[in-house]
Amino acid sequence: MSPERYIWHETVQTQHTRRSFRSEIAPDVLATVTGWLGSDLMALPGGYRCIVMCRSEYCLQAEVWTPHDIRLCVIGVAGRARCAVHLWARLHGNAATKPAEPWCKVWLDPGGAIADPEAYKWLGDFERCLAWAFIESAKNEREI
């Protein structure tokens, strides 16, 4: 039996890191977030929104905003090394500490943390769901 797949998940400011296993994401949640990735503007529950700022075949950069137009975070997802180095640097990452792909790196906006600290209770889960949805959808597109 092969080891379970995971995405390395890191938060810039806290340096909190963890392995996010695919099994942690319920199939229906993954399907919902994958559907949202069909657009660059995702309406999230509670009036929040996620905006895809740029994407390529293997990398994605998105921002999550409050209902009051305050940015909460910037999320970077890298599935392959091809675009990962530049994305890691844009998210204030040290090149010497960049993990192997796939990874999800998050930069928390200080203004968002002050304006809406309650959002950070669910935001980490959304980051992981977004990362897995993007990685899985990119994999499926390559296999077609």
pLDDT tens profile 93-118: 788 889 999 999 999 999 999 999 99
The pLDDT of 33-59, averaged and rounded, is 95
Token pair 């399907």: residue: 31
pLDDT at 93: 78
Burial of 1 from C-beta contacts in 10 A (0-12 / 13-18 / 19+): exposed
Burial of 110 from C-beta contacts in 10 A (0-12 / 13-18 / 19+): exposed
Check whether 2 has a pLDDT greater than 70.
no
pLDDT at 39: 95
pLDDT at 142: 44
User: What's the pTM value of the predicted model, to 2 decimals?
Assistant: 0.92
